[in-house]
Chain A
Amino acid sequence: MLLIPCPHCGNRPELEFRYAGEAHIARPADPSTTSDQEWAEYLYFRSNPKGLHIERWRHVSGCARFFNCVRDTVSDKILKTYPAGQPKPDLAELVKEAGQ
């Protein structure tokens, strides 16, 4: 069972969380102006990387808040979590920090 550091509550067991898909996929401000292709990409296209993945989790059985998490999909290592709404972290920087 993973320990997930909720940015609001600290380390908590995976059981308390619910996964919520890839992060930083903003809903278009005015969906009516998007093309079918753009809208389909927003709805369905995800990066699915092998390696670092920025994803959303919700601490559903805790503070109930959504937050973002950088996780390595190979090792399951969590490099960083941060509140929803904050900008995407520099992944290269994170890897460097983790290496030290």
Chain B
Amino acid sequence: MKMEGEVKWGYPGSLEEAVSFFREGYIPHGGGTTLIRSGLGAVYGLFTVSEVSEMRGFSVEKGRVVIGAGLTYSEIVEGVSDCLLVKALSHAASNPLRNRITIGGSINVFPYWSDAVGPLVALGASLRLVDKNGKSSVVGIEEYIRNREFHREYFIVSVEFDNNGKGRNFYHREVRTHFDYPFFTVSILTYPPNGEIRIVVTGVKGRYKRLSKVESFFSGIASEFWEGEKGYGWLVEKFKENFAGLRERVENDMDAEFVSRQGVSKEYQRHVAGVVIRRGVWKILLEAVNAGENYGGGVNR
């Protein structure tokens, strides 16, 4: 950590005060783990967010979840009802780190190992931003990621997405041990009954990718499934008897480029992602069958 020069610190008690610090060149201190890693040399000032209520609360209204950007992973896991994001964050990093990493900081930095961004993209999340003049705007998360200007000129106040409780989800982080930086993550979200499926991978080139081709392929299967009366037998026919073939199909359709890192090749990662995606969709549909969701007759497994 470069030691020359001081960093200024601001402790705003309101969003207004926070904006005023931002205007002066301070940036929000979202937990700080990445900053400590990369060094504070280039930072002019930091402001804490623990007393900025708009960034520290969460609310759920008519299925619309709003999470303050200053909430930590642990706080989100405890406070928000079970959904894809909670699933992903509950085993991210480690307990003391989950108590410190904020969702806003995580989105802003978006390291390749992020457990937060994949699920948020799959959920179609939006970010409420505020600029140096206090003017707020809402932008989709994918747009935020693409546009560097947003990172400079705005800071994130809250994250929101719909969680209408009807979709089923699946999350996978490809790790070596429990406490690890994922090589890639897979988020799968379904929206019955129209068969829509969203499949997002992170850790690939470009940091994340929605696998639209794979989505269409499974979407076809999913809509057939949701049309009704497709039971366990149907699932087995579609999946179990052709696992390897399905896997190959997924691998071929995956339009994402993996990155060789830490001695693990991109080809292997691609292969595993294909396996994981196939298994994830199977798992979701099996859960639906067992929950009696499509009148097809579940089987107790």
To the question of whether A and B form a pair in one complex, the answer is: no
